[in-house]
Chain A
């Protein structure tokens, strides 16, 4: 049985439909219910629906053999896994955003609110800019509005949330999309099925 970790939510639904296109459907039992494990014994796969930020951990520690996860999670956690495919779905960007009228004060330490502490640190390190990171887990957009930080580093899809909160994109840090990842040991012990899934997925990917 191949364990596949997927992020709960919209991206997970998209991935399930990709997998069903290549013949690994979850037996038609998934209709947005609250189950965390969907099994398809006839296809030899079991889907684990987990928190998006945990997918890579499930795969790195071998609880899942393969998984689908946003590149943001991979960049921030640096799990030791194989990244086999860019699935070209769940596309967005990690951006630096600030208030509409923001002007950077180069003289002081830049205060940054984010949940992607590593991405933010690497980005500003490369620019040799001293920053203070304030880690938040949600509603990041509030931080500059309340004066908690100067800017935020966060995922931007359409930019609507930013706009509604009178924020704008200042810089793009990196583009993000969903990636197919595999556990290093599973890649050896379950090589046949993992390679076959990778190949078939490659054939149905949106360009």
Chain B
């Protein structure tokens, strides 16, 4: 019997393989990078990072280096894309950051892709479609939240809301703390009209089409309408592709406007208590690097899947064969190989190891295998 070489892979590894094939189908190329980067890059763009605590060290030239806490920044900074030639890459890398709860550093397996160049709604659709398919490959039960930073920036600009207030506003909006948002706006120097509009925008959340229609009713500037048109075009294409069923439009999803200025999205799968896919359009980051290019991408934190698959773990072996001093090794080998030829995973031991899970245990009698209880 021919052995399926992928049978030994863990669920996460199988998903990773399937996703690599998917990304390549869309013409994305694998991008491999070094583990280290000059610390300066991250220091200058600290707010871009999900977690700004970085492991640093000096290299032999005395430069301060960092173990990568993020992949997108490196790709964005080093991209070969220009106005005439775009770049589409995917990556599978380990990144390092500080975990809040344990207070220790953690190695995180990150899978993601970036599309950089002169992009339009079609390129955005492709990335969102791949994000949706990524979630679907992980679990049938998944959701994607979509929002648009351009919509928010145009609204706040239109209402002349000062920069200083925006950070606090976004913090309330992101936490859906509408009661505090109201109090914050009342306390700030904001007209009742502006306060009402912001509160309405913050509560826009739900089915895509209805929420989009509600958002159109409060659009007060071309910038807001442009953002909504972009959302509509991308959603229409997702619909055509049959990928729109588990997408919600939620304007409480906001992110740092210094880097993101267009579509943003987050993906969830049932059984994982927080988002595991993060993505968005980061044209402003590109402009910070002096590149007048569009860029959109997403990353999936594969470590989050541990929680999901831990509960579904099976056994380590189908058959556990026990032998003793009297055993004829040649006969034992033949019997074990016969089982392996049937596709079974066979482990041979003198005694049952404590931390091994198996379907059946057998005792080698000298010529046969005799099934014994699990506590033999």
Contact = CB atoms under 8 A, between A and B. Distances in A.
Interface of A: 60-62, 80-86, 183-186, 188-189
A139 to B, nearest CB: 26
Contacts of B275: 184-185
A189 B273 contact: no
A203 B195 CA distance: 23
Nearest to B182: A86
B273 A185 contact: yes
Contacts of B143: 188-189
Contacts of B175: 81-83
Contacts of B21: none
Contacts of A186: 273
Interface string B272-283: 111100000000
A60 B101 CA distance: 11
A141 to B, nearest CB: 29
B291 interface: no
Contact of B176 (A60, A84, A188): A84
Interface string B200-226: 000000000000000000000000000
B329 to A, nearest CB: 50
A185 B307 CA distance: 14
B176 A82 contact: yes
A89 to B, nearest CB: 14
Given A184-B268, A188-B145, A189-B268, A61 B273 contact: yes
B145 A60 contact: no
B74 interface: no
A75 to B, nearest CB: 11
Contact of B274 (A83, A85, A86, A185): A185
A189 B270 contact: yes
Nearest to A181: B175
A153 to B, nearest CB: 21
Given A185-B272, A185-B273, A188-B248, A83 B176 contact: yes
Interface in B147-189: 175-177, 179-180
A83 B268 CA distance: 19
B365 interface: no
B248 to A, nearest CB: 7
A183 B273 contact: yes
A186 B248 CA distance: 14
A86 B172 CA distance: 13
6 contacts: A60-B274, A62-B273, A81-B175, A83-B175, A83-B176, A185-B268
Contacts of A85: 179
Contacts of B272: 62, 185
Contacts of A184: 268, 273-275
Nearest to A88: B179
A80 B180 CA distance: 16
Contacts of A61: 273
B141 interface: yes
Given A82-B175, A185-B274, 18 more contacts: A61-B273, A62-B272, A62-B273, A81-B175, A82-B176, A82-B252, A83-B177, A83-B180, A84-B176, A85-B179, A86-B179, A86-B180, A185-B268, A185-B273, A185-B275, A188-B143, A188-B145, A188-B248
Interface in B251-292: 252, 268, 270, 272-275
Contacts of B274: 60, 62, 80, 183-185
A179 B273 CA distance: 20
A60 B273 contact: yes
A61 B180 CA distance: 24
A163 to B, nearest CB: 30
A184 B268 CA distance: 9
A82 B270 CA distance: 17
A84 B176 CA distance: 6
4 closest Cβ pairs, A-B complex: A62-B273, A188-B143, A82-B176, A86-B179
Nearest to B172: A83
Contacts of A185: 268, 270, 272-275
A186 B271 CA distance: 9
Contacts of A82: 175-176, 252
B225 to A, nearest CB: 27
